[in-house]
Amino acid sequence: MALTTHWRRNLSRRSFLRLAGAAGGLAALGSRAQSSEVPPVRTGYLPITDATPLLIAHARGDYQAHGLEAVAPALFRSWASLVEAFLARQVNVVHVLMPIALWLRYQQRVPVKVVTWTHTNGSALTVAPDITKVQELSGQTVAIPFWYSIHNVALQHLLRQSNLAVITRRAPREGEVSLVVMPPPEMPVALANRSIAGFIVADPFNAQTEALGVGKVLRYTGDIWRQHACCVTLLHEDDLRAQPDWGQAVVDAQVEAQLWTRHNRAEAAELLTRYLPQPLEVIRRVLLDERDTNRLGNPEWEPNPWIDFQPYPFPSYTERLVEFLKETRVEGERDFLTGLVPAEVHADLVDEGFVLNAITRLGGAEVFGLDGFRRDERIEGL
């Protein structure tokens, strides 16, 4: 077990460093030459429900309805491999963790733009069956999908509230929790063989683990940070400059897919089985709110903290995320965070124009259950 954990730690660090090198090298190549030819939509995704809008837009023909050619989405097994493919332009439309977008733009100097949120909530901290509270993770190892992830941010917030210290690359002692990066598909197996005590990741891996009886959800991330974003749609900035109509069509298709999914969750689950390896009953469990509300730490928060779909990227979220990342432990270079001004990052990283156009065409903020385009962030303990 110790050898397995050690191997995973080293592999995760090598993958992270390889990705950092690839990002720096590819960024140095500069922008691609502008072309009048409309590129096909080449989607890259991980097998998680975070990718729902990208996949539903393909399944329903939404891209084609907006005049775009769309090839079959390409499945990747880790964030490192997905981002590498995006940087190499093997794919040109991807969903990534919002903190990865920050890391790419400000640490690796890759000109990328966030154009929509792909969902809200949809992640959880899943633990071994005998663990009943966060404090019982003391002296244990927990897996995260990437250092720059809302999962790492939310988990470390929980651990700080429980007076547990975060460590990496050594065995944890009492009062400590060791974090390791692990591809999401490996997490349920690692929990089942007890090489880790828990993991925090997007669904459907949490629902799958509960269905298999090898673990249980301890906390939903949407019950820690209300209606938080996890994944966002990321495009190359030069693609948007060269082909703004293409960018608008991509966003229109995904926003329509989100609205359709909100009202057709059972049908969406059926469509997702074309792209996700998990069985239909697990995907339905995620999309159809078949969760236990008795386990919520903040039951007064509405709506429930399950996965939902609204595409608008709230500036307040970007600002608080930058603040949290400044106090979150990560592996690798993090000096770039020091110079970031939270109030300025959103306007630079996020292009709201496309998504606001799309939402307006569909009837405005209220069709996604929003009161408007500003909100106050609600985070447990703050």
pLDDT digits (tens, 9 = 90+) for 165-216: 999 999 999 999 999 999 999 999 999 999 999 999 999 999 999 999 999 9
Task: Grade residue 6 by pLDDT with cuts at 50, 70 and 90.
Answer: very low
pLDDT at 101: 98
Residues in the chain: 382
The rounded Cα 56 to chain-centroid distance in angstroms is: 17
Q: What number is the average pLDDT over the span 249-267? A: 98
Task: Grade residue 21 by pLDDT with cuts at 50, 70 and 90.
Answer: low
**pLDDT above 70 for 20:** no
**pLDDT above 90 for 69:** yes
Q: What number is the average pLDDT over the span 18-26? A: 57
pLDDT at 291: 80
pLDDT at 161: 96
pLDDT at 327: 95
CA–CA dist 307, 282 (Å, integer) = 13
**55 and 73 in contact (C-beta within 8 Å)?**
yes
What are the helix (H) ranges across the chain? 2-28, 52-59, 62-65, 79-87, 98-106, 150-161, 187-192, 205-212, 237-242, 244-263, 265-272, 280-287, 315-326, 342-349, 353-362
pLDDT at 343: 92
CA–CA dist 181, 13 (Å, integer) = 8
CA–CA dist 360, 335 (Å, integer) = 39
**141 and 172 in contact (C-beta within 8 Å)?**
yes
CA–CA dist 199, 10 (Å, integer) = 18
pLDDT at 15: 54
Q: What number is the average pLDDT over the span 368-381? A: 96
Residue type, 106: Y
pLDDT at 294: 81
Out of 37-46, 241-250, 289-298, pick the least confident: 289-298
Instruction: Report percent pLDDT > 70 for the chain.
Output: 91
The more confidently predicted of residues 291 and 120 is 120
Q: What number is the average pLDDT over the span 92-96? A: 98
- Looking at domain 122-223, does it have CATH number 3.40.1160.10? no
Residue type, 249: A
Out of 1-5, 120-124, 310-314, 322-326, pick the least confident: 1-5
pLDDT at 22: 55
The more confidently predicted of residues 31 and 66 is 66
Task: Grade residue 303 by pLDDT with cuts at 50, 70 and 90.
Answer: confident
Domain spans in the chain, listed from the N-terminal domain onward: 122-223
